[in-house]
Amino acid sequence: MPTWLMQTQSFFILVLMIFGITQAKKRSLHVKIMSTAMIWDIILILQIELSRSAILKASKAMSNPMLLNIHVSIAVTTVVFYVFMVLTGRKVLAGQNQLLKRHRKLGYTTAVLRALTFATSFLAVSGAQNG
């Protein structure tokens, strides 16, 4: 799969996530948008794995360019945060509103991580091609 197509998907995932954040007051819509963004992001990761053997490359951290290692670390952390978002989000939907503040903070952190994943993907791709 061409790099530009993956980068385009990554951009739209980030835009969708930002839009989802703006819809937090409309819980049903927020859940649908954010679920779509997270699922699409995981599908994108699978596409990258299938087309580039990303896990094999990432496992060679000692010989990879530093930018690639940073990108992979941020991307993996983002997915870990998706798990926290789903867990806390489901509890908030079930009525545990005391978790709303934590869910919101985790959400903003997740969005920043996703933005950093997007930004570092350009550097990681150029660094991997030049390295």
pLDDT in tens, 73-110: 999 999 999 999 999 999 999 999 999 999 999 999 99
How far is residue 129 CA from its own chain's centroid? 23
* Cα gap 127→83, rounded to integer Å: 29
Average pLDDT over residues 42-58: 79
pLDDT band at 2 (very low <50, low <70, confident <90, very high): confident
CB 49 within 8 A of CB 72: no
Average pLDDT, the chain: 90
At residue 131, the pLDDT reads 45
pLDDT of residue 63: 67
The pTM assigned to this predicted structure is 0.87
Of 4, 13, 94, 92, the closest CA to residue 51 belongs to: 4
pLDDT of residue 34: 98
